[in-house]
Amino acid sequence: MNETAQMHTLEGFVAAGVILMMVMLISENTMIITPQCELGMDVQLQQTAIDVLNVLDIAPDCALQFNLNLTEHVAGYNLSEPIPQNNSLKPLDTEISNLLGDILYNVDFVYVGNGTITNDTIANGTITNDHVIMHGAPIENSMSASRFITLYNETGGTWNISSNNVQVVEVRLIIWQI
């Protein structure tokens, strides 16, 4: 009987066992991540919304068209105009459109009552959600980002804020892609 053939067979079994053990060791100690394309797109979309609000908040330092920051846009909002897409927010709509490109969006202003907060009490405790810029109905996978803006009497606009009160407005940017 040929002993070298038996030795090669044993070497083959040992090599197969070593390879099998290495595969098991590697597969047990590593994470296998399946592609989550939709989740990745959602995260990217939400980060885009956050970035747009951040850029608008520091607009005078940037090369934006109207040289207004987000606070000045919100202060310029005319509370008496009942319809979305009103003339007082056309500059904000243009800036967001330039920053987002093909992405669809809506903007809401959320504030409490007539906006006066005095000595830690809220006057007229109703929450108002104004849909100020509308470009359609958001779809199921829309994302939103918000930024809080504090308006003072010195800010101006039509908010009618007395000298010792502040107005806090949440600016919500809802974005989606089709």
Q: If you compute the radius of gyration of the chain from its CA atoms, what whole number of angstroms results?
A: 29
Instruction: List C-alpha distances in Å: 176 to 42, 82, 140, 171.
Output: 9, 25, 9, 17
Instruction: List C-alpha distances in Å: 86 to 79, 83, 114.
Output: 10, 6, 19
Residue 113 pLDDT? 64
Residue 20 pLDDT? 92
Strands 127-133, 143-151: parallel, antiparallel or unpaired by DSSP? unpaired
Residue 117 pLDDT? 47
Is pTM beyond 0.85? Reply is: no
Q: Assign 51 to helix, strand or coil.
A: helix
Instruction: List C-alpha distances in Å: 97 to 65, 92, 154.
Output: 11, 8, 29
| Amino acid type, 139 | I
Residue 85 pLDDT? 54
What angle in degrees, to the nearest 10, is found between the helix axes of 37-57 and 90-100? 140
Q: How far apart are CA 29 and CA 94, in angstroms?
A: 51
Residue 115 pLDDT? 46
**What percent of the residues of the chain are helix, what percent strand, and what percent coil, each to the nearest 5?**
40, 20, 35
Successive 10-residue mean pLDDT values, the chain, 178 residues: 74 92 80 63 85 82 64 79 65 88 91 57 68 87 90 72 82 90
